Amino acid sequence: MNIQVRPTDQAPEGATHPGARPKLSFQAKRRGKAPTHLADFDLSGRKAALKEAGLPAFRADQLSRHFFTHLNVSPEQMSDLPAGSREKICGLLLPKLTEQSAAISADDGRTVKHLWQLFDGAQVESVLMRYPSRTTLCVSSQAGCGMACPFCATGQMGLTRNLSTGEIIDQVRRAARAARDGKLAGGPTRLTNVVFMGMGEPLANYKTVVGALHRLIDPAPEGFGLSARNVTVSTVGLVPAIKKLAQEGMPVTLAVSLHAPDDNLRDDLIPINSRWKVGELLDAAYSYFQTTGRRVSIEYALIKNMNDHAWRAQLLADELNARGRGWAHVNPIPLNPTPGSIWTASSKKDQQVFVDTLRRNGVATTIRDTRGSDIDGACGQLATAVQKKMKER
Ligand code: SF4
């Protein structure tokens, strides 16, 4: 018998009262802008900013190499800049954007989660994870999130504000530096991958995120020079923005947080589905693959008796195969067990049936490793926990 648990069977995760309902929002309350930072501009923009301040434009090259190659923001270590103008140059283009307010490590020191305080007190988090063949950073693109997914603590915080490109990129610089300096168990390593799966819906902060993608991919002195295929942008399904991203000429990996193949369930599970339906979303994802040649990741959190039925695995396979073969890779993600909540893990048997059904239909499927499960794994949970503790003080 198919038991069907609905997302509306209890108040959203992190809700402050039992009658709370998810509320979509695209517009943040007006707040001040983050201080201007070198990473907000491309190289010519940095040159123009220096020139405007009466400083030689060619210093932009040196400053950019300090930031993107040496991961350094301390004027005293910039001996190639004249001592007399170092402070002025750094003050102009390298303001401090992130202050560490908490750090927790897990997985025997191979995972570190940071909570950063921004200039206006807003807090965001990033997670650095070491795997045998890569080191990945999960970054935040917004403080809070307006997408209101009922299983996600960040969604209940609402959207505080969009991050600036500098604020996103400074999370990356700090992580690259921590990896280089051996702050993860296993000794010094290189940051190889960046995924936009932290707080926020990246495509709701489109222009800023595209700027950040350039800084990640463009070679020094423009940016860090990461491989585009090692950068992943995840979305709950902002269809027009997916279409736009396909035209940017940056073949980054697109990850679609689908979590349900039918509108009936997805309307309640991912509220943005009320605007763009599963069919439109998969069409946009397929055309992203056609334009960029990059296989699309389909993220699917397996939630007990909610979306883990074998018929849903079959429907998902049919929807993907109806558009083409080999263009998508499904990543089922077993949810961390939350006893007593509707958001709890599927049984091992149901997980296996789900995966087998997809594979039998020729769909590439890999169960995803959920890192940091012992340190508040899901996006937004650390920030919520810290805020709670602060309120309790
Ligand atoms: S799951 Fe992602 S998109 Fe949904 S509310 Fe949480 S942060 Fe936003």
CATH number, residue 52: 1.10.150.530
Task: Identify whether 99 is a catalytic site residue.
Answer: no
How much distance in Å is there from the Cα of 106 to the middle of ligand 1? 23
Q: Which of 201, 242, 270 to mutate to test the pocket of ligand 1 (most atoms within 8 A of CB)?
A: 201
Residue 26 located in a structural domain: no
Residue 153 located in a structural domain: yes
**Contact assessment for residue 132 and residue 192, using Cβ atoms and an 8 Å cutoff:** no
pLDDT for the residue numbered 371? 60
**Contact assessment for residue 182 and residue 172, using Cβ atoms and an 8 Å cutoff:** no
The tokens 């750090």 sit on which residue? 103
pLDDT band at 369 (very low <50, low <70, confident <90, very high): low
- Of residues 299 and 18, more confidence is placed in 299
Ligand 1 atom at minimal distance to the Cα of residue 380: 7
Ligand 1 atom at minimal distance to the Cα of residue 235: 3
How much distance in Å is there from the Cα of 270 to the middle of ligand 1? 9
Domain shared by 187 and 323, yes or no: yes
- The single residue of 13, 90, 125, 138 carrying the catalytic annotation is 125
Domain shared by 208 and 338, yes or no: yes
The mean pLDDT value for 35-58 works out to 97
Domain shared by 76 and 206, yes or no: no
Is 331 marked within a binding site? no
Q: What is the rounded distance in angstroms from the CA atom of residue 262 to the CA atom of residue 265? A: 6
How much distance in Å is there from the Cα of 25 to the middle of ligand 1? 12
Residue 179 located in a structural domain: yes
Domain shared by 51 and 150, yes or no: no
Query: Each residue of 80-100: pLDDT tens digit?
Result: 999 989 999 999 999 999 999
The number of folded domains in the chain is 2
Domain shared by 167 and 291, yes or no: yes
Residue 255 located in a structural domain: yes
Query: Each residue of 106-129: pLDDT tens digit?
Result: 889 999 999 999 999 999 999 999
Task: Identify whether 125 is a catalytic site residue.
Answer: yes
Domain shared by 79 and 173, yes or no: no
Domain shared by 79 and 176, yes or no: no
Q: Does residue 390 surpass a pLDDT of 60?
A: no
Q: Which two tokens stand for residue 345?
A: 């893990």
Q: What is the rounded distance in angstroms from the CA atom of residue 102 to the CA atom of residue 119? A: 16
pLDDT for the residue numbered 375? 42
Residue 320 located in a structural domain: yes
> Can you say whether residue 332 is alpha, beta or left, with left for phi > 0 and alpha for psi between -120 and 50 degrees?
beta
Domain shared by 196 and 185, yes or no: yes
pTM, whole model, 2 decimals?
0.93
What count of residues does the chain have?
A: 393
- CATH number of domain containing 300: 3.20.20.70
pLDDT band at 28 (very low <50, low <70, confident <90, very high): confident
Instruction: Give the pocket of ligand 1 (CB within 6 Å).
Output: 145, 147-149, 152, 154-155, 199-201, 236, 379-380
pLDDT for the residue numbered 142? 95
**Contact assessment for residue 217 and residue 169, using Cβ atoms and an 8 Å cutoff:** no
Domain shared by 167 and 218, yes or no: yes
Measured in whole angstroms, how far is the alpha carbon of residue 287 from the centre of its chain? Answer: 22
Domain boundaries, position 127: 96-392
Q: Does residue 393 surpass a pLDDT of 70?
A: no
Query: Each residue of 172-193: pLDDT tens digit?
Result: 999 999 999 999 999 999 999 9
pLDDT for the residue numbered 1? 65
